[in-house]
């Protein structure tokens, strides 16, 4: 029975796939599988930004034609996208996480093969590699969840309720009149031009006091 392209891809060592995805080529992968894998990679990249399968397939078709010089039907491109989603277990918001999870699965498959052959050293190495892949995937997913920013718009919320301390405008004005902020900026361990920029940004009119400072 003839193997499908996905089955052929599954039989390739994950290190070779990783090399191809990183460098764009790998001598250990047959040419026809390189073509297929490249199409899967493009499918993932396109689907990351275009979640409409039909539109994504049109873009994939154009890219395959332009870069691989292969004429391919749109419905085949749609199949490629579905294959990529399944193969990379696509949560395409984080493509690297997808690849890390896929490599972990492959390493675990290899570990089971090593166990069947009583190659326990190889089994441990594969499980260690799988653990490292899953750890990286977990870290990436955690970082992605922490990227959210919450904006609060309400006329009833004060700065103090958001954790800021209240300052007296009279106290700030007094410090300005006493030259506190000029002295503070002058004492910073930065270049002269940066001190002058800070004075201008602070709307302090006495910026000329720094003109006679020696260059750093």
- Residues 215 and 196 sit within 8 Å (Cβ to Cβ): no
Same-domain check for residues 100 and 79:
no
pTM of the model: 0.45
CA–CA separation, 49 and 44 (whole Å): 9
Query: Could you read off the pLDDT of 120-179 as tens digits, one per residue?
Result: 888 888 888 888 888 877 776 666 555 555 566 666 767 677 677 777 777 777 777 777
Same-domain check for residues 78 and 137:
no
The domain of 194 spans 167-210
Same-domain check for residues 99 and 80:
no
Query: Could you read off the pLDDT of 66-86 as tens digits, one per residue?
Result: 999 999 999 999 999 888 888
- Residues 91 and 98 sit within 8 Å (Cβ to Cβ): yes
Number of domains in the chain: 3
What percent of the chain is predicted at pLDDT more than 90?
Answer: 16
Max alpha carbon distance in the chain (Å)?
A: 89
Query: Could you read off the pLDDT of 39-61 as tens digits, one per residue?
Result: 999 998 898 788 788 888 999 99
- Residues 199 and 185 sit within 8 Å (Cβ to Cβ): yes
Cα distances (Å, whole numbers) of residue 176 to 65, 185, 206: 66, 12, 11
Same-domain check for residues 181 and 194:
yes
Same-domain check for residues 55 and 100:
no
The set of residues, in sequence order, having a beta carbon less than 8 Å from that of 215 and lying 6+ positions away, is 191, 192
């Amino acid at each position: 029975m003839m193997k499908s392209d996905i089955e052929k891809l599954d039989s390739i060592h994950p290190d070779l796939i990783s090399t191809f995805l990183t460098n764009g080529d790998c001598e250990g992968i047959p040419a026809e599988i390189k073509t297929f894998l490249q199409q899967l990679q493009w499918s993932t990249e396109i689907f990351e930004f275009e979640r409409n399968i039909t539109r994504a397939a049109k873009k994939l078709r154009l890219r395959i034609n332009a870069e691989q010089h292969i004429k391919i039907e749109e419905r085949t491109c749609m199949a490629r996208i579905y294959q990529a989603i399944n193969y990379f277990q696509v949560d395409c918001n984080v493509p690297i996480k997808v690849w890390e999870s896929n490599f972990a699965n492959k390493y675990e498959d290899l570990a089971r093969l090593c166990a069947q052959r009583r190659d326990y050293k190889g089994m441990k190495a594969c499980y260690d590699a799988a653990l490292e892949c899953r750890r990286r995937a977990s870290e990436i997913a955690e970082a992605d969840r922490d990227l959210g920013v919450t904006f609060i718009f309400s006329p009833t919320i004060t700065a103090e309720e958001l954790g800021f301390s209240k300052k007296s405008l009279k106290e700030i004005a007094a410090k300005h009149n006493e030259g506190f902020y000029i002295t503070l900026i002058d004492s910073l361990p930065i270049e002269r031009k940066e001190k002058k920029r800070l004075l201008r940004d602070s709307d302090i009119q006495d910026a000329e006091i720094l003109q006679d400072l020696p260059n750093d």
